[in-house]
Structure 1
Amino acid sequence: MQKIDFTDAQAALGFVMPAFYNIEQTVYKRRYPSFDYASLIPVITEGSEWARGTLFRSSDAAGKAEFLSGKGFDMPYADVTRDQFLKGFELAGIGYEWSLEELQVAALEGRQLGSEKGEAARAIAEQFLWQTAMTGQTEKGWTGLVNDATVPAALAAATGTGSTTTWSTKTPEQILVDINSAIEGIVTSTQEVEMADTILLPFARFNAIATRPIGNGADKTIATFLRENNTYTSETGRPLTIRTLRALNTAGAGGTARMVAYRRDPEVVRFHLPMPHRFLPPFQKSSMTWEVAGILRTGGTEIRLPKAVSYIDGV
């Protein structure tokens, strides 16, 4: 087998590039369900990858109709209030490198370089985006889906044994009241404009309602009964989505478990990802290493209608 001269840049490039494209294709075919933020938050990838951010404008009607005299001059007028909000985007990255030894050994054995490093970089990127989407990034002053300070937060009703709030001390009926209260709270605070269609729970709380019967001798669990009998389904005829989210285990006040109720719609909440993670072509950064940079740009989670979201702590 002919030995490749890696001191010749063109010869080295001819070996590295086919390996890179094969690895890139393999990596992006894989899925990472444990970091599936897109199923919980609408992901927005529109616009320029290199935009500074996105500008969001909102408006509302103002004014009040009043009784008038037939000859009066005091006509009340309507007006429109306008606000605008800017959400900035930031660059992040995770890549990998090949050493001269790895290149030489692979060339000598007549094989392509393995995809393990690329897969590791991709998995780390997805984990970074998941954390950003759910809890934000302290370095950038960002919050996420489960800890936005503008979202109304309340303590679960103290109706459990000994006036506790935790579901482990409550009856199935009391648990159902807690969940329906979260949905109804959104309806009330938005004057019946918004209604939650999704409930997120810590795994232990979800597991409890998924396995605990609704009553003695009942053939339905709390979760089964809840999906059929809740404020949202009764009003719309559509099923209520109930999902687990490990980020909720200690997201509540004082490190307590938190429940999140919200309408899963980009009008309410969105995750800005103008540039999903991607690899740049490899380049020789030193006499003994080739680097493959991996970059992404995100603006994190933006909750545009905080009153369409509700936090219930201490469940």
Structure 2
Amino acid sequence: MQPFIDAQSAVGFVTPAFYNIERTVYQRKYPSFDYASLIPVVTEGSPWGRGVLFRSSDIAGKAEFLSGKGFDMPYADVTRDQFLKGFELAGIGYEWSLEEINVAALEGRQLGPEKGEAARKVAEQMLWNIGMTGTTEKNWTGLINDPNVAATTATADGTGSSALWANKTPDQILRDINAALTGIFTGTNEVEMADTLLLPSARYLSISTVARSSTSDRTILSYLQENNVYTAETGRPLTIRGLRNLATAGGGGTARMIAYRRDPEVLRFHLPMPHQFLPPFQKSSMTWEVAGIMRTGGTEIRLPKAFAYVDGI
């Protein structure tokens, strides 16, 4: 085999390898950063748009009794608000050296997908972190720390007046959970109802193994899945997930429980440009670079009253 003298002479070998690697990388999934299962991901619109503009409206007015000859007709009106969510560019890529290219060609193999897979995984990890907690650099918050969502503290009636589930009975734990679900329903005049419950991973594992009672062969979790206010009202299963980020998300670093309606109307993760690789280019006399870019606006909670944070569990 004739060795490649410089990066430019390697173009015929690098370019086909790049497209093969790109296909391989995007076939690989990373469940540990599966933010899409918790937050509806919206990819609509131009990937290069500055952001998204949306409007909300509400009705105002009150019907009243009138005199048959009255002139004081009450009127209805509509209030309108406008909101803008900006998008930002981020990136993570990789590079090949002339040495790596020549070694691969000498051995008669394609360049491996390891670097591309690493870049892809790092990108997904960044999006996961933004989705969960936002970023201070852009002044964004996320799913678990939005200041517009009302946060309450769990009832402190466990052993020693503790709010911790470790010091509570199964009945008290179930009451805390259903109180969070019911609070959203009653707090919105029965308009909103949470269909998703997120618990700190340790709390989730605990209720999945602790018996409902000393005489029951069911766990707290299995009982909850069939006996909760959402399922009772709708006949549909309540989604219950463990989330490691909630261990210290509450006030004072306490554990936080989240109940919410998982719907794009309520919240969304803006991803107008999912992570993608650009064609490789010659970066220097001995290096090829493959840039990876993405654009996101992070998590946006549009209807905070369809959410509940409960701390101290």
4+ runs of 1 displaced by more than 4 Å?
Answer: none
Tell me the equivalent position of 1:264: 262
- Contact 2:7–2:285 (CA<8 Å) still a contact in 1? no
Shift of the alpha carbon at 1:7? 3.1
Structure 1 Cα separation of the partners of residues 5 and 214 of structure 2: 74
Structure 2 Cα separation of the partners of residues 57 and 228 of structure 1: 38
- Structure 2, unpaired ranges of 5+: none
Shift of the alpha carbon at 1:8? 7.1
Note the 1:1-315 alignment, pairs <5 A.
2-7=1-6, 9=8, 11-315=9-313
- Structure 1, unpaired ranges of 5+: none
Shift of the alpha carbon at 1:272? 0.4
Structure 1 Cα separation of the partners of residues 7 and 39 of structure 2: 48
Structure 1 Cα separation of the partners of residues 306 and 32 of structure 2: 26
Q: In the alignment, residue 50 of structure 1 is paired with which amino acid?
A: W
Q: In the alignment, residue 233 of structure 1 is paired with which amino acid?
A: T
Q: In the alignment, residue 262 of structure 1 is paired with which amino acid?
A: Y
Shift of the alpha carbon at 1:189? 1.4
Structure 1 Cα separation of the partners of residues 79 and 128 of structure 2: 35
- Contact 2:7–2:287 (CA<8 Å) still a contact in 1? no
Q: In the alignment, residue 5 of structure 1 is paired with which amino acid?
A: F
Structure 2 Cα separation of the partners of residues 38 and 131 of structure 1: 12
Tell me the TM-score normalised to structure 2 length. 0.99
- Contact 1:3–1:107 (CA<8 Å) still a contact in 2? no
Shift of the alpha carbon at 1:165? 0.4
Structure 1 Cα separation of the partners of residues 286 and 214 of structure 2: 70
Shift of the alpha carbon at 1:200? 0.1
Structure 1 Cα separation of the partners of residues 7 and 285 of structure 2: 11
Structure 1 Cα separation of the partners of residues 117 and 179 of structure 2: 43
Q: In the alignment, residue 80 of structure 1 is paired with which amino acid?
A: V
Structure 2 Cα separation of the partners of residues 302 and 175 of structure 1: 30
Q: Match of 2:39, SS? A: coil
Structure 2 Cα separation of the partners of residues 5 and 43 of structure 1: 44
For residues 16-58 of structure 1, what are the alpha-carbon distances to aligned partners after superposition, in whole Å with 9 as ceiling and x for unaligned?
0011011111110100000000011100001110000001100
Q: In the alignment, residue 58 of structure 2 is paired with which amino acid?
A: D
Structure 2 Cα separation of the partners of residues 197 and 58 of structure 1: 23
Structure 2 Cα separation of the partners of residues 275 and 6 of structure 1: 37
For residues 141-178 of structure 1, what are the alpha-carbon distances to aligned partners after superposition, in whole Å with 9 as ceiling and x for unaligned?
00000000000100001111111100000000000010
- Contact 1:152–1:311 (CA<8 Å) still a contact in 2? yes
Question: Percent sequence identity over matched residues?
Answer: 73
Structure 2 Cα separation of the partners of residues 51 and 73 of structure 1: 50
Structure 1 Cα separation of the partners of residues 261 and 37 of structure 2: 13
- Contact 1:153–1:311 (CA<8 Å) still a contact in 2? yes
- Contact 2:192–2:261 (CA<8 Å) still a contact in 1? yes
Question: Number of aligned pairs?
Answer: 313
